[in-house]
Structure 1
Amino acid sequence: MRIGLITAAPDHPLLAAAGALLTARGHRVEALDPRGPAGDGPLADVYLLKARTPAALALARSLEERGAPVVNPAAATELCQDRTAMAELARRAGLPFAPTRTADGPAALLALAEAGELALPLVVKSRHSRRHDLVARVDGLTRLRALAEQWPGEPVVAQPYLPSTGWDQKLWVVAGQLFCTRRRSELADPGHTAQPHGPAGFGPGDLPAERARLALRVGEVFGLDVYGVDLLDGPDEAVVVDVNAFPGIRGQAGAPEALAALALRAAAAGSRGSRPLPGPRTAAPADAGPGATAR
């Protein structure tokens, strides 16, 4: 089999480890830098779409149009880059996604807050997810005014700042196999430095069953095979604050093996002409619940 990696960093630990496993089994692994020309040579049996830049998405779409299977599909990957579309799809599917409001920029949020139409504290994020985008906690109008000056014209989403332990539960899924850890939230209060349940590790066996089911449901809704789900830590009902297509999944034993196995299954399915449809899977409408999106 020939496996293509759509990435500008083929030495990423997850890709490198999965690639080494595939190579050891006699398969050919090739990196395809999305910043360069795509070419029109023979297609690989499957492509792993790790990069999420516009150039990478365009390359993935062109490969799909030529009949190549891509994991994750370009349409599903692109949807996860738009936090407004992400929240709306999650709401329609009944996922407990954080309430999300879209605005043309921080200045528009400031006007709403000054008019008493937007409660603080809240979390402000760039609408379009990318490297070095805006993610900030806003406790008062002074901070919001500063963001309006620093990020003029930046489309944003706003979510209420929800109480938590100051840590996030990072869940990753590779073809239905679950991995997880806790990470301190970059938005947490300075005093929230200690692990909420001590320094012991946090793995799938420590994850409540309903949260594990939620993580798998996210993949079904968004049409993803390799993805991450960020949940607020704590005993309360789970709240999804972000979904990421093909995250790094660093330091998780078994993740490279799961990715290598997925690549081979997707390649075999593609050779039979029965690969997954490119794009999010349609979910039946459900009550909006706590994930309602305000526009």
Structure 2
Amino acid sequence: MRICLITPRPDHPVLAATTALLTPRHQVESIDPESEGDGAPGDPSVPGPLADVYLLKARTPRALALARSFEERGAPVLNPAAATALCQDRTEMAGLARRAGLPFAATRTVASLAGLAGLAGLADGRDLPYPLVVKSRHSRRHDLVTRVDSAARLRGLGAAWAQEPVVVQEFTANSGWDHKLWVIGGQVFAALRRSELAEDGRGPTLPLELGDLPHGWQDLARAVGSVFALEVYGVDVIDAGDGTPLIVDINAFPGIRGQKGAPEALAALALRAAARRA
């Protein structure tokens, strides 16, 4: 089989370990989407025969366009470009999740951070239901994700983020830990990490045995894949009390670092997808 990685970082730990598992019997290549084509994000061009399967570990416009071009020619891409793009739009993500009955945080979209105070009809934002969680609408590296406890904090953010399209969620009291659930081809992996809303930073990722998850959380993680058409993805869940899950984020093809068995699961998934095409 010929497996191709769409990524600028084929040396990423999970991809490198997966490549090492596959290469004794299969051909593994990589494409840096930023170096392919004629420079136009919507018009990539990679000549030659198709690979049996592509693993999309990139989210830039050029990477998505490249993945779509392979899909249009009949090649399987994990995850599909459309599913990957949907997970970058927090408005669309929340809408789909809630329509499907998933326990996703209630989310409201605002055209700009500067207009957020207008939700309460006051210029200074005093009557907003604090605390709030404010995030950039479009998920990307170094985007805005923060807790806002006061109008003063909201005004302070405006200096740098005034024109940023944002989504707003009411803050749900929790332990301060995110449950990181990763799924590869239906196999669930788990860890704990301090919330990115924590004042002292996220800190290290801590191991978490699947048996220590509340009842039903593994099934919930798998259900996300069915709803979003994802095969390799992450689900951030907080415990809203007594084991009640609340999904706060969904990521297409996250890093999944340090999870025993993750490279093996990814290699097996790639081969299954390639075999289906064959």
Give TM-score scaled by structure 2 length. 0.91
Report the residue type matching 2:229 in the other structure.
G
Match of 2:68 in 1: 61
Cα shift at 1:61: 0.4
Partners in 1 of 2:244 and 2:147 — Cα distance? 22
Distance 2:48 2:206 in 1: 50
Shift of residue 193, structure 1, vs aligned partner = 9.3
Q: How does 1:78-227 map to 2 (within 5 A)?
A: 78-113=85-120, 115=122, 118-188=128-198, 201-227=207-233
State the TM-score, normalizing by the size of structure 1. Answer: 0.86
Q: What does residue 74 of structure 1 align with?
A: 81
Matched, 1:254 2:253: no
Aligned CA distance change for structure 1 residues 146 and 216 (closer, same or farther; 3 Å): same
Deviations 1:176-221 (A, max 9, x none): 000000001121355x9999xxx98412121123111110110010
1:120 is displaced (CA, Å) by: 1.0
Residues 42-71 of structure 1, C-alpha deviation per residue, up to 9 Å, x if partnerless?
Answer: 110000001011111010001101111100
Mark the CA change 1:94 to 1:117 in structure 2 (over 3 Å): closer, same or farther: farther
| Paired-residue identity, % | 64
SS of residue paired to 2:35: coil
From the superposition, tell whether residues 73 and 123 of structure 1 become closer, same or farther in structure 2 (CA, over 3 Å): same
In the TM superposition, residue 113 of structure 1 has moved relative to its aligned partner by 4.4
SS at match of 1:119: coil
Instruction: Give the drift of 1:35.
Output: 0.3
How much has 1:34 moved relative to structure 2?
0.5
1:142-178 C-alpha deviation (Å, 9 max, x unpaired): 1111222211221110111111111110000000000
What is the count of residue pairs matched by the alignment? Answer: 266
Q: Hey, what does 1:30 align to over in structure 2?
A: 29
Task: Return the match for 1:269 from 262, 269, 276.
Answer: 276
Shift of 1:9: 0.4
Q: Distance in 2 between matches of 1:248 and 1:225?
A: 14
Q: For 1:202 and 1:101, how far apart are their aligned partners in 2?
A: 32
What amino acid does structure 2 have at the position aligned with 1:9?
Answer: R
Whether 1:229 aligns to 2:228 is no
Distance 1:136 1:71, change over 3 A: same
> After superposition, what is the alpha-carbon deviation per residue over 1:243-264, rounded to whole angstroms, capped at 9, x for unaligned?
0000000000000000000000
2:232 partner amino acid: V
Unaligned runs of 5+ in 2: 37-44
Q: 1:262 to 1:132 in 2, by over 3 A?
A: same
**Counterpart residue number, 1:276:** none
CA distance in 1, matches of 2:270, 2:127: 48
Q: Could you tell me whether the CA contact under 8 Å between 1:124 and 1:138 is conserved in 2?
A: yes
Contact kept, 8 Å, 1:105 with 1:148, in 2: the verdict is no
SS in 2 for 1:143: helix
Counterpart residue identity of residue 140, structure 1: S
Q: Compared with structure 1, are the counterparts of its residues 194 and 17 closer, same or farther at alpha carbon in structure 2 (3 Å cutoff)?
A: closer
Structure 1 segments unaligned to the other structure (5+ residues) = 272-295
Paired position in structure 2 for 1:10:
10
Aligned equivalents of 2:15, 2:264: Cα separation in 1: 10
Alpha-carbon separation, structure 2, partners of 1:56 and 1:200: 31
Larger relative contact order, structure 1 or 2 (CA cutoff 8 Å, min sep 6): 1
SS of residue paired to 1:239? strand
User: C-alpha root-mean-square deviation of aligned residues, in Å?
Assistant: 2.0
1:285 — aligned with what? none
**Distance in 1, Cα, partners of 2:117 & 2:142:** 22
Question: Structure 1 segments of 4 or more deviating over 6 A?
Answer: 192-195
For the residues of structure 1 that align with 2:71 and 2:97, how far apart are their CA atoms?
25
